[in-house]
Amino acid sequence: MLYQLLEYQRSLLTPVSDWASELTRAFADPDSPLARMPGAPCVAAGCDMLARLGREYGKPDFAIASVPDGARELPIQEQVITERPFCRLLRFAPPPAAVAATRPAVLLCAPLAGHHAVLLREVVSTLLPLCDVYVSDWIDAREVPLSAGSFHLDDYVAYLQDFLRAIEAPSRHLLAVCQATVPALAAVSLLASAGEPLPASLTLVGGPIDARENPTAVDRLALRQPLSWFARHLIHTVPPRYAGAGRRVYPSFLQHAGLVAAHPSRLMGSHWDYYMDLMQGDRAAAALHLRTCDEYNAVIDMAAEFYLDTIRIVFQEFRLARGDWSVGGRPVRPQDIRGIELLTVEGELDDIAGPGQTRAAADLCSGLAARHKHHLMVAGSGHYELFTGPRWRDEVFPAVAALLTAA
């Protein structure tokens, strides 16, 4: 019922949003006489912000046509390698003639925890001069028909295994961010136990491998409430408007509300910067800030069974950390992983995955010698800074690049 009520609200706001968009164009278009009135930029900026209140944010494109590579611009092609009901495997790479055939490949495991995979766009573009990048591009569950079946945490792990098998490259690497670190470690563990080829390196960034370490507000909420509370209060049914009508989901609007409540300054800061750019007529800067706002506001529904699995297995029972997690009837044994490099990355001020939660992977991977385990603690870094902005570019990326070039 709540989901349907939100759809009614959105329908009511749409005319207001459309009207504000028209006013924005009228006061911003250089050919419009209204644009020459005193205060026109202020009116245009205010109307644009009003229009955004009633706007539905679809998935932004990665839109990576090229990346800087020394003195040249390296052209980039995007293609879909494989498509599953709940996820697509995307490949970003230069044309074969533009680079050496020995380039490594990285599977970038995007978290299924609210935002689209495009939130990792900066990670993709930074990596591309060094390697081909494959991305797990999760599909909004409200667009997945009921006929596609359910989607559990076990299915997520199986997807990652299949994606790794699909990558053909001289050397393969896996980089997982936030929530994705848990299924990524499980996927590599299962491949190791089965004697299948492993990636040359595994990088885990800001994830809840062991949520018992330095628990955050997210972790404490998961322990404070029984699983039935999450099912009763956070799970709703997709209304008829969407292809996934009737599917039970953790809706995007509830996730977005939680994200804004947890990090209000991040959203407000981006919108304020965008507003000031409009006021000053700096269209180039405004476009950059607008992209940040749109990516943050674009949130996807998660399948209910996947979300509840994650709460139970990762945040309540700590199955991976305790060594009693099975996927598809097969035990997850990180101690079977051998012959690869492991890098764990944490932020000193991370309020989503507290310090120590990601580093716990090093103890679980007891089959790796100490010289193959690396850890990076990024001083002064929150969660999002681990994969966006200067801390990603100046501190995290060099550590990841060292693994790519050493293999």
**191: amino acid identity, one letter:** L
- Say if residues 188 and 337 touch (Cβ distance below 8 Å): yes
pLDDT band at 210 (very low <50, low <70, confident <90, very high): very high
**31: amino acid identity, one letter:** D
| 105-124 pLDDT, tens digit each | 999 999 998 788 998 999 99
Distances (CA, A) of 141 to 120, 151, 235: 20, 9, 12
Q: How many CB atoms lie within 10 A of CB 203?
A: 27
Q: Which residue has the higher pLDDT, 232 or 97?
A: 232
- High-pLDDT (> 70) share of the chain, %: 75
Residues 6+ apart with CB under 8 A from 303: 86, 141, 144, 150, 151, 152, 247, 248, 249, 250
For 326, the token pair is 């099975």
Q: What does the DSSP assignment read for 123-176? A: HHHHHTTTSEEEEEEEPPGGGS-GGG----HHHHHHHHHHHHHH--SSSEEEEE
Q: Is 355 helix (H, G, I), strand (E, B) or coil?
A: coil
Best CA proximity match to 132, nearest among 95, 87, 187:
95
- Say if residues 182 and 207 touch (Cβ distance below 8 Å): yes
Q: Which residue has the higher pLDDT, 392 or 263?
A: 392
Q: What is the pLDDT of residue 44?
A: 59
Sign of the C-alpha dihedral, residues 195, 197, 201, 205? negative
pLDDT band at 47 (very low <50, low <70, confident <90, very high): low
Does the pLDDT value for residue 5 go beyond 50? yes
Axis-axis angle for helices 40-53, 2-28 (nearest 10): 160
- Say if residues 113 and 206 touch (Cβ distance below 8 Å): no
Full-model pTM: 0.83
pLDDT band at 215 (very low <50, low <70, confident <90, very high): very high
Q: What does the DSSP assignment read for 368-395? A: S-GGGEEEEEETT--SGGGTSHHHIIII
Distances (CA, A) of 188 to 38, 181, 201, 272, 340: 62, 11, 10, 42, 10
Q: What does the DSSP assignment read for 313-345? A: IIIIS-HHHHT--EETTEE--GGG--SSEEEEE
| 366-376 pLDDT, tens digit each | 999 999 999 99
| 141-195 pLDDT, tens digit each | 999 999 999 999 999 999 999 999 999 988 999 999 999 999 999 999 999 999 9
Mean pLDDT value of segment 285-298: 56
Sign of the C-alpha dihedral, residues 33, 39, 45, 46? negative
**40: amino acid identity, one letter:** A
**Neighbouring C-alpha atoms within 13 Å toward the C-beta of 319:** 19
Query: For residues 167 and 172, what is the distance between their CA atoms, to the nearest angstrom?
Result: 7
